[in-house]
Structure 1
């Protein structure tokens, strides 16, 4: 600051003090505004997060349990045996939905050839879903569409001859016949029966045993 003519040193110091005080008050005002903005943004973000959490909880609470899922056309079977046997087994259903089976389970995954039945049934015992299809009735694009809708684990996808429909989904004690890969019942069947606790050994491994012919993954 330049000293004006006739201005005393005391006056000059007072002006400087007032200037500093004014600048200090401006900084305080800016700081308060920034804090208010920060608090407002924080509150808004908190409200959004809380809303998302409430939405997720509400969705979870409203989601049906396995037992509440109703699927038109599902056939269920009870009192299935699950003994380890050698050789072939004559099953009442084809594809089978359970029963006695080979001591080694079939490694889950996608197959391009028919797989050994008795080993696949052992995988059902562990909670896997076995999805079979008639390759003469399904195009390659439809098979790819079907595969895209299946989980990456605890699922066997394989062709099978003499099926009662183009696609058959089997789990331990349950089966659903489908006409096309776009059927909306595929996901509900998985929701209800994939890794189901109703299987005799749910959660037991679906890898580390044997591969069938034509294993793709």
Structure 2
């Protein structure tokens, strides 16, 4: 049999389907949408990673600050109120008057260890500036200990001194013209030491802090006058 000849315009086999212009445009739009979705997903992942990293970093910073405060903040020492009558080497005792006055007072001790004083007491606490004698002496009347230090002592010595302070009924402040670098004063008692490492500081607190031998034992050391430079 003689093969049938094909017409000039006919094609053999099964050629791929040719897309129309409309279909081509639809396919391009679909590709663009898919690319946009991938880009948005990538941005979301990057943002999530950034937020997580920021949270972790923030938690780490807070933890570091808390640890730093714990390590550097002085802890309050603990003492028994009153005393047992123990003798402490170097402690001087006095007999001072005890009147409320409005005028300035010339005290026989430097710093004062009792005497006439202002009707308003100095609120206990840590001060970075010198305080008014007449207000601080009133605090001594309530059983507080006034710890004064020469402004020239080292920062290390001052930090060590702070660790020996109780939580209440204590005043810490600089004082010009002290007879020694550090002086501890209670009502009619006083101790001079050369440095914060002196063991007698703790002994003095144990014996004279919140003493029952003061004119007004167990009276408050808050609720009156805040001096300058209170920390």
Q: The TM-score by the shorter chain falls in which range?
A: 0.5 to 0.7
Aligned to 1:146: 161
Work out whether 1:72 is the aligned partner of 2:83.
no
Instruction: Give the one of 189, 204, 217 matched to 2:219.
Output: 204
Work out whether 1:127 is the aligned partner of 2:161.
no
Aligned to 2:174: 159
Work out whether 1:83 is the aligned partner of 2:83.
no
- What TM-score do the two structures reach when normalised by structure 2? 0.64
Aligned-residue offset at 1:156: 0.2
Question: For residues 175-194 of structure 1, what are the structure 2 equivalents within 5 Å?
Answer: 175-194=190-209
Report which of the two structures shows the higher radius of gyration computed on alpha carbons.
2
> How many residues are paired up?
151
Aligned to 1:32: none
Greater helix content: 1
- Encode CA deviations 1:25-76: one digit per residue, 9 max, x unaligned: xxxxxxxxxxxxxxxxxxxxxxxxxxxxxxxxxxxxxx9x824312100000
The ranges of structure 1 where at least 4 consecutive aligned residues each deviate by more than 3 angstroms after the TM superposition are none
Cα distance change on mapping 1:87 and 1:68 into 2, 3 Å = closer
CA distance in 2: counterparts of 1:205 and 1:148, whole angstroms = 22
- Encode CA deviations 1:174-197: one digit per residue, 9 max, x unaligned: 000000000000111001100000
CA distance in 1: counterparts of 2:83 and 2:133, whole angstroms = 27
- What TM-score do the two structures reach when normalised by structure 1? 0.68
Q: Helix, strand or coil: the match of 2:128?
A: coil
Aligned to 1:103: 119
